[in-house]
Amino acid sequence: MSHLNIEIKARHHHADFVRQYLQKNNADFKGLDHQVDTYFNVTDGRLKLREGNIEKNLIYYKRTDEVKAKESHFQLVNIPDAKGLKEVLTQSLGVKVVVEKKREIYFIDNVKFHIDIVVGLGSFVEIEASNLHDPISKERLQEQCNFYKREFEIKEEDMVAFSYSDLLLAKDDVMRVDLS
């Protein structure tokens, strides 16, 4: 079954400010997760295997690359044997890129917050308002994202349109050009 996220990703250099806001507002802290996301070659959307201490999922999603809060349709499957699945997907589809990060995970109701440090990219904050567990309208999810964007004082110039995988691939392309 497909679910809906409205999400914001932004470069953010004030993790303590976001962390304090979340703590002050009784966010449910799920923990610090070291995550490795392996993206596989697919013809449509994105397919990634997330290996972490807290989250271990196969995630398929389609999302537009926009600077504003963006709509993402996703499917999520909990994976007990990530290593075995990774071998099969690597052999059958091939690996597109691997993203490694340290992620703090918080929740306020249906809204998930990430404070991320991504290897090779830096510091980010993500806001994901989701209808995963409750039927919530797209408009309400959008309102929730915009509310927290204002609360976290995220500026338009800090908004990021692309996934970490795309940012790493673009960086790699630049590095290849610089090397030749």
pLDDT tens readout for residues 61-79: 888 776 777 777 888 899 9
The CATH number that applies at residue 9 is 2.40.320.10
Percentage of the residues of the chain whose pLDDT score is greater than 90: 67
CA distance 112 to 127: 6
CA distance 56 to 6: 21
CA distance 155 to 12: 9
What are the pLDDT digits (tens) for 151-162?
A: 999 999 999 988
Confidence (pLDDT) at 173: 60
| H helix and E strand count, the chain | 4, 8
Range list of H helices, the chain: 15-24, 82-93, 138-151, 164-179
Q: Are 98 and 86 in contact (CB under 8 A)?
A: no
What are the pLDDT digits (tens) for 95-105?
A: 999 999 999 99
CA distance 33 to 156: 28
CA distance 123 to 14: 9
Give the global pTM. Answer: 0.86
Q: Which of 63-72, 124-133, 144-153, 170-179 has the highest mean pLDDT?
A: 144-153
Domain span holding position 96: 3-179
Q: How many domains does the chain have?
A: 1
Neighbours of 89 (CB within 10 A): 19
Which DSSP category does 85 fall into?
A: H
Nearest CA among 103, 98, 147 for reference residue 126: 103
CA distance 76 to 67: 24
